[in-house]
Structure 1
Amino acid sequence: MKILIVYAYPNQTGFSAAVLNAVQENLKASHQVKLLDLYQENFDPVLVFNEQQRRRDLATEASTANYREMLEWSEQLIFIFPIWWSGMPAILKGFIDRVFAKGFAYEYKGLLPVGLLKGRQAWVITSHDTPKPYARFMQQDYGRVLKRQVLGMCGIKPVKLTEIAYLRGSSNEKREKYLRKIAKMSQAL
């Protein structure tokens, strides 16, 4: 399977980095895997619209062509990122804004969106510092937003969501248990 990992975390020694390592180390050797580390890539998340750069041209913008090619190449997407301020890191939001563009990732037929990235599936792995019950009922979680509003709209299904809650309150043993779970899920892909 062709797997594209989209990783959005700037600290190479933090827990998200450990999650990335657990995923990479436990994917089957038969998979073809590409890593898109948005921070290492120095991805520019800023949308610019002016007379030279129009929104309607995002689907063919030269500066994001290689990212669109990666998405087209993939059969399985894996997103790894922390939830900050109830949202995904700005660099990932900018990636979605600039790359998952109308005309590339989706189009409209009448009033309804039609996904153009069908035939792919995804796994979204997030972590956050909020206790799980509070996060579930009181906060908008952008792992769920990515799953439903972005990937689903673009035709990517199924999308599995793994949330690692209350990280700051977890012990080393609990974190190791999370990583073992991620490793096992990676082996099952």
Structure 2
Amino acid sequence: MVTIIFSHPWHGSFNKAILDTITAKFDKENTPYEVIDLYKDEFNPVFTEEELSGYSQGKINDSLILKYQQIIKISDEIIFIFPNWWNTMPAILKGFFDKVLQKGFAFDYEGGFNPLLKIDKSFVITTSDKPSPNFSHTIEKCFIGDMLNSVGIRNGVWLSCVTTSTGTNENRQQFLKKVEEAV
């Protein structure tokens, strides 16, 4: 199963067009998938004191986090879709990593840091208004290299649409075609 983690608040956005392109392809091919829409689910990315106090023991009291973990547990592939805001991911997605990919679920410290997930395919699909060398480092080294690989989400491929809101409709349509062919 493919899990799509969507991190954009506006359903009129180009990010939503990317999501719709992917889900239409999967529907046509009968590919099983699940969409985690962080904004629509009203996911709270901020740790409370109570949540943080149980973090090191892997204790979770939030049913939404448990639901997300169950979805990820049966995934063969994960696709992340989000805009580049301040050369990084939106805060809600960072909170997803903090709160969902916890010790005992995504990793453990038995004899060192060990990944517990076994997901062999991933895509990171981003949008921005202008290219930034800093963002390339953030995605390729930090997001894919340090965050995904460290918990067992492997073989990350990054697709980036630049000049999303300032470019041409032709540019956006070409990017949607590229996404459809890649996933």
Q: TM-score, normalised by structure 2?
A: 0.89
Deviation digits for residues 130-184 of structure 1 (CA, Å, limit 9, x no counterpart): 23xxx12x44654332211111000111111111123233111111111111112
Matched, 1:103 2:110: no
- CA distance 1:114–1:51, change in 2 (3 Å): closer
Residue type matched to 2:104 in 1? G
User: 2:4·2:34 contact (CA, 8 Å) conserved in 1?
Assistant: yes
Counterparts of 1:122-161 in structure 2 under 5 Å? 122-131=122-131, 135-136=132-133, 138-139=134-135, 142-144=138-140, 145-161=142-158
Kindly indicate whether the alpha-carbon contact (under 8 Å) linking 2:2 and 2:77 is maintained by their aligned counterparts in 1: yes
Q: Look up the match of 2:23.
A: 24
2:74 equivalent in structure 1: 73
Aligned residues: 179
Letter in 1 for 2:114: V
With over 3 angstroms needed to count, the CA separation of the structure-2 counterparts of 1:109 and 1:14, relative to structure 1, is same
SS at match of 1:41: coil
Alpha-carbon distance between aligned partners in 1 of 2:84 and 2:2, rounded to the nearest angstrom: 23
Question: Is 2:9 aligned against 1:10?
Answer: yes
In structure 2, the partner of 1:82 is 83
Matches within 5 A, 1:48-67: 48-50=48-50, 53-57=53-57, 59-63=58-62, 64-67=65-68
Q: Any conservation in 2 of the 1:45–1:93 contact (CA below 8 Å)?
A: yes
Q: Which runs of 5+ in 2 are unaligned?
A: none
| Pairwise CA distance, 1:67 | 1.1
Provide the C-alpha distance between the structure 1 equivalents of 2:119 and 2:173, rounded to a whole number of angstroms.
33
1:128–1:166 contact (8 Å) kept in structure 2: yes
User: Which piece of structure 1 moves more, 143-152 or 81-90?
Assistant: 143-152
Q: Distance in 2 between matches of 1:48 and 1:101?
A: 15
Aligned partner letter, 2:151: C
- What amino acid does structure 2 have at the position aligned with 1:103? G
Gaps in structure 1 of 5+ consecutive residues: none
8 Å CA contact 1:83–1:127 kept in 2: the answer is yes
Contact 1:108 1:114 (C-alpha < 8 Å) held by counterparts: yes
Distance 2:67 2:107 in 1: 18
The verdict on how the C-alpha distance between 1:52 and 1:85 changes in structure 2, with shifts beyond 3 A counting, is: closer
Provide the aligned C-alpha RMSD in A.
Answer: 1.9
* TM-score scaled by length of structure 1: 0.86
Q: Distance in 2 between matches of 1:90 and 1:51?
A: 18
SS in 2 for 1:62: coil
Indicate the percent of aligned positions where both proteins have the same amino acid: 30
